Structure 1
Amino acid sequence: MREIPTSLDPTVVAEIDRRLRALTIDHAVRIPWAIESGSRAWGFPSPDSDYDCRFIFVRGRERYLDLWPSRDVLDTPLDATFDVNGWDLAKVIKLIAKGNATAIEWLRSPIVYSGDAAFRDALLSFAGHVVERGAIGRHYLHVARRQQAGRPTLKRFFYVLRPAIALRWLAVHPDEAVPPMDLPTLLQESSVPRSVHDAASDLIAAKAVTRELGTGDAPTILHRFVGDEMLAAEHFETAMPQKDPQEVREFANRFFTSCIS
């Protein structure tokens, strides 16, 4: 599958495609999932946003039996436009089993450079089976706090707002643990007040046409919303695991073996 919006620079997309092909050849791997992450996939890009391609790669079965395993990260030279790197499937599975939301988000990106839908769906199903809501909630709560600790800018505020709305999404979807990746979908699916939705949409629109939003402040209504959602999510800090860790590890092992068979 391939989902590339017309807003992406076709020259840049072609170079990302070239880099991905080169990685498969140079490292003898296959890449069943390659997506865009960062502000473009999160739904609030600026005109000068770089491209953050992330991918999952799989080695031949025999390579996983090597006494001296290869690196579990592959990347290409980083510059002002391109940030292309990926993780080995084994790394991704272990991270998901630990409740790493970043690895799960890659599976829900709205921008797909190349992908095997069945591979993606299998990983999402695996995540749904093993992930702890408490771990995901803590992830987004800690991301929001970490961003709040930095120098206040409108750009940084987006990195607080998205996890805050992800926390709201978890609150209104009590039986699910894998929120959408992009901010517009989170807004749509989180039953936020219309005033919050409109203020966030206006801020997204402003960022889309401004190369640098500067150090101005976000609307008071959004600051209040963020504070309320983070306070309501404090319970994730003490949430106890609901799944048996040993059973999760065994399930992860079986799933990994099925992927490389």
Structure 2
Amino acid sequence: MLGRSLPADMDADAVAGVDRRLAEIRAAHGVAIPLAIESGSRAWGFPSPDSDYDCRFIYAHRPERYLSLWPLRDVIETPIEGELDVNGWDLAKAIRLLLNGNAVVIEWLTSPIAYGVDERFRAAFLAFAEQVADRDRIARHYRGLGYAHQEQHLRDGQPIALKKLFYMVRPAAALRWLRLRPDAAVAPMRFQTLMAECDPPPAVAAIMADLIARKALTRELGAAVAPPEIIGFIADEFRRADETFGARVPRPEAGEREQADRFFRDMLDHIWRDRPTPDRS
């Protein structure tokens, strides 16, 4: 039984559209989908009235399909139509990306908005992530994400679309959260929780809280020169990340790969154990 957790203000037609798309994917590809969640601004906690519905999912083929001589494609992509954006990763891809430090997998697992989630699968995957997620690899992910947005959007003295600030402050806050917690590697997905737990300077917290409130009411925040407090916060956290986290990110070791293989097989067994085998006659 898949659990759902959908805010009351989500558009019913959009949710029905996501459900239809997921049902079509299951039928067309013969896969199970143990995790289908909302990603993007709605799940991060700073949506606009016209925010898209960004459904992301993890799927699994039947175990015997992974024994094929011909490699399976490890993504399922569907066309973006209107406000619907529905795409997913194969379970094997999600595990490999996690081992290599891709924090997106963790964010999907911790999304507060669920279209359909096998909670035993999610709990097991999160426990596995806690065991194998490497802080330096995760930090490299957020550092690269933040730098990319900084280089693309932030220019000295030039106006910036204010909504773009979220995409630089969020990775900077995640890096700060990791720096303040030497034994942790899984930062909160929800922006408000992340900001509260990383304890940013009061001026930064106030500016971002104001932007969240304004973004919830308007389709377009407009453009302005980025506040110096925000610029300073981003620059400082990226600099500290360069000093705190390893410059060379280690590749997954043999023991981690073996652990990942066991987890992959265990999850396939869990996902398909009680599902009927299709009639191939």
Which bin holds the TM-score, normalised by the shorter protein? over 0.9
**Structure 1 Cα separation of the partners of residues 52 and 144 of structure 2:** 25
**Structure 2 Cα separation of the partners of residues 123 and 93 of structure 1:** 9
Quick one: which amino acid aligns to residue 258 of structure 1? D
Counterpart check, 1:169 vs 2:171? no
TM-score scaled to structure 2, two decimals?
Answer: 0.88
Kept in 2, the 8 Å contact 1:172–1:191? The answer is no
**Structure 1 Cα separation of the partners of residues 206 and 222 of structure 2:** 21
Q: Structure 1 residues 216 and 81, CA, compared in 2 at 3 Å: closer, same or farther?
A: same
Q: How far did residue 76 of structure 1 move? A: 1.9
Q: How far did residue 107 of structure 1 move? A: 0.5
Q: Structure 1 residues 153 and 89, CA, compared in 2 at 3 Å: closer, same or farther?
A: same
**Structure 2 Cα separation of the partners of residues 244 and 114 of structure 1:** 31
Residue of structure 2 in register with 1:225 after alignment: 233
Kept in 1, the 8 Å contact 2:94–2:105? The answer is yes
Q: Secondary structure at the match of 1:5?
A: coil
**Structure 1 Cα separation of the partners of residues 264 and 38 of structure 2:** 24
Q: Secondary structure at the match of 2:204?
A: helix
Counterpart check, 1:56 vs 2:58? yes
Q: Secondary structure at the match of 2:5?
A: coil
Residue of structure 2 in register with 1:181 after alignment: 189
Equivalent residues in 2 for 1:195-206 (5 A)? Answer: 195-206=203-214
Residue of structure 2 in register with 1:193 after alignment: 201
Equivalent residues in 2 for 1:149-160 (5 A)? Answer: 149-151=151-153, 152-160=160-168
In structure 2, runs of 5+ residues without a counterpart are: 154-159, 270-281
State the identity as a percent: 51
Once the two structures are overlaid, the 10-residue window that deviates more, 223-232 or 111-120, is 223-232
Kept in 2, the 8 Å contact 1:128–1:178? The answer is yes
Q: How far did residue 193 of structure 1 move? A: 3.0
Residue of structure 1 in register with 2:83 after alignment: 81
RMSD (Å) for aligned C-alpha atoms: 1.5
Residue of structure 2 in register with 1:127 after alignment: 129
Runs of 4+ with >3 A deviation: none
TM-score scaled to structure 1, two decimals?
Answer: 0.95
Counterpart check, 1:238 vs 2:252? no
Q: How far did residue 66 of structure 1 move? A: 1.1
Equivalent residues in 2 for 1:1-150 (5 A)? Answer: 1-150=3-152
**Structure 1 Cα separation of the partners of residues 252 and 79 of structure 2:** 41
**Structure 2 Cα separation of the partners of residues 244 and 78 of structure 1:** 34
Q: Secondary structure at the match of 1:150?
A: helix
Instruction: Output one character per residue of 1:176-208: Cα deviation in whole Å (capped at 9) or x when no partner.
Output: 101111211101211223332222110111111
Kept in 2, the 8 Å contact 1:101–1:136? The answer is yes
Q: Structure 1 residues 234 and 19, CA, compared in 2 at 3 Å: closer, same or farther?
A: same
Quick one: which amino acid aligns to residue 197 of structure 1? A
Q: How far did residue 239 of structure 1 move? A: 5.4
In structure 1, runs of 5+ residues without a counterpart are: none
Instruction: Output one character per residue of 1:28-73: Cα deviation in whole Å (capped at 9) or x when no partner.
Output: 1110100011111111111111111000001111111111133211
Instruction: Output one character per residue of 1:63-92: Cα deviation in whole Å (capped at 9) or x when no partner.
Output: 111111332111222123111000010111
